[in-house]
A and B are shown apart, each in its own frame.
Chain A
């Protein structure tokens, strides 16, 4: 396992896709900080009353990007093992399929953490002098960052499972990228559905110079019962969690989210190893 990992890290160091992904994450971090400062200058020049743009709004973007950039990386990096015949070589020198799988998983999870770190470093290094300190309390920021990193690692587990069970690198890339975006859009949809109010409150408005009072009424689009439980379960899955993390900034990120991420990582890894053991590597 240690040999596989050191060989993997050596390959990672020379991997072009790794450096491209890292550069994109750091570049977006710098861009977000500069764009925030630019917007603040714009607001100030137009004389807006509240011309502040906080660093917080720029910092919390990275979970949206980490999963999306990790998906092509895992597909290309792990998929190269099939196209180059490296997997068969590893097995023929005596490594078990389980260790080959786990070494790839650890590499992909490490890349996920490095991608998050690249964004965080870049946005803080440029954003702190331009936009000032963050307003969210430090423990909340650290907890959010921890949840996001655990979620990214869980996504790495999902992408590794796909990449190691599918021998066609192009098909793997399509499956991973589509899954990453699907989970993100599903999260946005579920957030909208679960945020529907159960009852529309009493409203007063002016019509033809008269104050009209509209009584409170139940919302027909409110999701309830078993359907709500299913929606909430899906909303807690890694990928969809990105939206939930963004929606809970400044309040409190639920402690169950990292647990769900770890459960998803454990289940996908177990299923992946079991299927990989039976796979015909031709």
Chain B
């Protein structure tokens, strides 16, 4: 397993897709800070930004990067026949699966680190020191990394059980974008106000207060709980929460992300053991 992991890391180091993803992450970190600083300057002091607000925005795109990087990197193992070679030299299928999962997670954590480094290196001089409590930032960091691991577990599951690299790229990428759009839709449904406040009228100088009307789109009861569970369970839903640093119960989010990791890794390992590698 350690040999497999070392070999994967060596291949990762020479992989252009990995360095491209690192470049994109670093560039995004710098761009977010500059864009935020420029917006603050243009508003003439009416609006200000902090480095904290930009620090976890990598959660919004790390899933897309993982959906491109993992099938591209590990799909090559099928097309080049490397998986069969590994099995021939005596490695077990499970150790191949776990080595690939850990390598995928390591690559995505490095991409996240590139974003955070770029953001902090430019953000602290331009936007000032962190304003949020360190405990909140550390919780967001741990939670967003666990969310990244959940993304990696899902994409490794698809890649290791799909022999065609192009098909696994399509499934992962379309799935990632669809999950993000789904998360945004659920977020907007959960954020709908319970009551719609009407306009207050002034008739002949007399102010007539409007009665708030119940919003038919407001989710209640079991339906609301179900939508909240889906929003918290989806790694894309978690990314929306970490992105804005507005997450309700971090322990619940981390527990659900760990559950996603465990379920997909367990199912992926079992399926990969039975897979006909031709």
Residues of A whose CB lies within 8 Å of any CB of B are 42-43, 46, 48, 68, 72, 75-76, 79, 169-174, 177-178, 181, 204-206, 209, 211, 220
Is the C-beta of B207 less than 8 angstroms from some C-beta in chain A? yes
| Known A170-B75, A173-B173, A174-B173; 15 more pairs at CB < 8 Å | A43-B216, A46-B216, A48-B216, A68-B177, A72-B173, A79-B166, A169-B166, A170-B72, A173-B166, A173-B170, A174-B68, A177-B173, A178-B68, A209-B207, A211-B207
B174 touching A170 by the CB < 8 A rule?
no
Docked complex Cα distance between A177 and B68 (Å) = 11
Is the C-beta of B93 less than 8 angstroms from some C-beta in chain A? no
**Listed residue (B68, B75, B170, B200) with the most chain A CB atoms within 10 angstroms of its CB:** B170
6 CB-based A-B contacts, threshold 8 Å: A76-B166, A174-B68, A177-B174, A205-B200, A206-B207, A220-B43
A170 touching B216 by the CB < 8 A rule?
no
**Listed residue (A48, A169, A172, A177) with the most chain B CB atoms within 10 angstroms of its CB:** A177
Write out the residue numbers on chain B whose beta carbons fall within 8 Å of the beta carbon of A181: 177
Q: Which of B42, B71, B177, B202 contacts A170 (CB 8 A)?
A: B71
For the complex of A and B, the 3 pairs showing the least CB-CB separation, nearest first, are A169-B166, A72-B170, A48-B216
A72 touching B216 by the CB < 8 A rule?
no
Instruction: Output the nearest chain A residue to B43 by Cβ-Cβ distance.
Output: A220
Is the C-beta of B132 less than 8 angstroms from some C-beta in chain A? no
Counting chain B residues whose Cβ lies within 8 A of the other chain, the interface size class is 10 to 19
Docked complex Cα distance between A43 and B218 (Å) = 11
**Listed residue (A42, A43, A204, A206) with the most chain B CB atoms within 10 angstroms of its CB:** A206
Write out the residue numbers on chain A whose beta carbons fall within 8 Å of the beta carbon of B207: 206, 209, 211
Is the C-beta of B169 less than 8 angstroms from some C-beta in chain A? yes
Docked complex Cα distance between A49 and B266 (Å) = 50
Q: Which of B42, B166, B170, B177 contacts A220 (CB 8 A)?
A: B42
Is the C-beta of B167 less than 8 angstroms from some C-beta in chain A? yes
Instruction: Output the nearest chain B residue to A171 by Cβ-Cβ distance.
Output: B72
Docked complex Cα distance between A174 and B42 (Å) = 36
- How would residues 162 to 181 of chain B score, 1 for a CB under 8 Å from any chain A CB and 0 otherwise? 00011101100110010000
- How would residues 154 to 198 of chain B score, 1 for a CB under 8 Å from any chain A CB and 0 otherwise? 000000000001110110011001000000000000000000000
A174 touching B169 by the CB < 8 A rule?
yes
Q: Tell me the B197-221 residues at the A interface (CB within 8 Å).
A: 200, 202, 207, 216
Docked complex Cα distance between A46 and B167 (Å) = 45
Write out the residue numbers on chain B whose beta carbons fall within 8 Å of the beta carbon of A204: 202
Instruction: Output the nearest chain B residue to A181 by Cβ-Cβ distance.
Output: B177
Give min CB distance, B213 to chain A, whole Å: 9
Docked complex Cα distance between A174 and B216 (Å) = 40
Q: Tell me the B49-75 residues at the A interface (CB within 8 Å).
A: 68, 71-72, 75
